[in-house]
């Protein structure tokens, strides 16, 4: 029997300028454009093929930072989350921790979360170190990876596919 199509929503959260839009666009098009419109939440649709059939994935690239204004989506209403920080910016990691706390205290408290350090190409200017991040990831039961939206799409694609697969499996069981 053909499996029913599953729909899932992934929200991409994080401080302004960390590369949320660059990551979403890289995942969807494999391209790095360099400049992205800001100030608007952008929703993208794609299809992921799992072993059990197609999964329609809605990716919300969020833009509102300082707790949501009325016009914004409920950024904590999703099946899974990508929380982005920049490896060059400690403030962005503090914001990622705040977002993790918010996710874990909302209704989607158990949702799969991928904590993604971006701008790995700027490793020479690194301010956020993996040991610190891995501890936070463990405390919050989330996956952690470091990527460069500017330099390479493979890690972004692989880690997002892994997040989608985990989410599908969590929703099916
Ligand atoms: P957002 O506000 O989180 O959506 O951030 P954007 O995706 O708009 O990116 C902010 C800026 O960082 C832009 O100028 C991007 O070109 C730049 N950027 C994004 N990802 C990377 C990266 O991996 N490396 C470098 N060096 N710059 C990046
Ligand atoms: Mg953006």
Mean pLDDT of the region 88-101: 97
Residue 9 has pLDDT above 80, yes or no: yes
Dist. CA 87–CA 57, nearest whole Å = 27
Q: How confident is the model at residue 71 (pLDDT cuts 50, 70, 90)?
A: very low
pLDDT of residue 1: 59
| Stretch among 11-15, 16-20, 48-52, 62-66 having the lowest mean pLDDT | 62-66
State whether the beta carbon of 22 lies less than 6 angstroms from ligand 1: yes
| Nearest atom of ligand 1 to the alpha carbon of 34 | 16
Nearest by Cα to 103 from 38, 69, 95: 95
pLDDT of residue 70: 44
- 66 Cα to the center of ligand 1, angstroms: 19
pLDDT of residue 153: 96
Dist. CA 154–CA 94, nearest whole Å = 27
Instruction: Give the closest ligand to the alpha carbon of residue 18.
Output: 1
Residue 115 has pLDDT above 90, yes or no: yes
- 19 Cα to the center of ligand 1, angstroms: 4
| Interhelix angle 90-104/130-139, nearest 10 degrees | 10
SS (H, E, C) 90-156: HHHHHHHHHHHHHHHCCCCCCCCEEEEEECHHHHHHCCCCHHHHHHHHHHCCCEEEECCCCCCCHHH
Mean pLDDT of the region 90-99: 97
pLDDT in tens, 23-35: 999 999 999 999 9
Q: Which residue reads 């098009």 in tokens? A: 29
Nearest by Cα to 41 from 19, 67, 21, 15: 21
ipTM higher than the 0.90 cut: yes
Nearest by Cα to 59 from 93, 86, 20: 20
The secondary element (H helix, E strand) that includes residue 172 is: helix 154-172
């Amino acid at each position: 029997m053909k499996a029913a199509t599953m729909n899932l929503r992934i929200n991409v959260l994080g401080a302004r300028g960390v590369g949320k839009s660059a990551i979403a666009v890289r995942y969807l098009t494999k391209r790095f454009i360099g400049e992205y419109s800001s100030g608007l939440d952008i929703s993208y649709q794609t299809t992921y093929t799992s072993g059990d059939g197609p999964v329609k994935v809605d990716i919300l690239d969020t833009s509102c930072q300082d707790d949501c204004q009325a016009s914004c989506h409920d950024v904590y209403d999703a099946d899974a989350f990508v929380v982005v920080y920049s490896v060059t910016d400690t403030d962005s990691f503090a914001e990622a921790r705040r977002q993790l706390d918010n996710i874990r205290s909302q209704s989607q408290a158990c949702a799969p979360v991928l904590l993604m350090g971006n701008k790995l190409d700027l490793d020479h200017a690194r301010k956020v170190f993996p040991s610190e991040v891995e501890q936070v990831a463990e405390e919050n039961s989330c996956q952690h990876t470091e990527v460069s939206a500017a330099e390479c799409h493979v890690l972004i694609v692989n880690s997002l596919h892994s997040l989608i697969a985990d989410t599908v499996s969590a929703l099916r069981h």
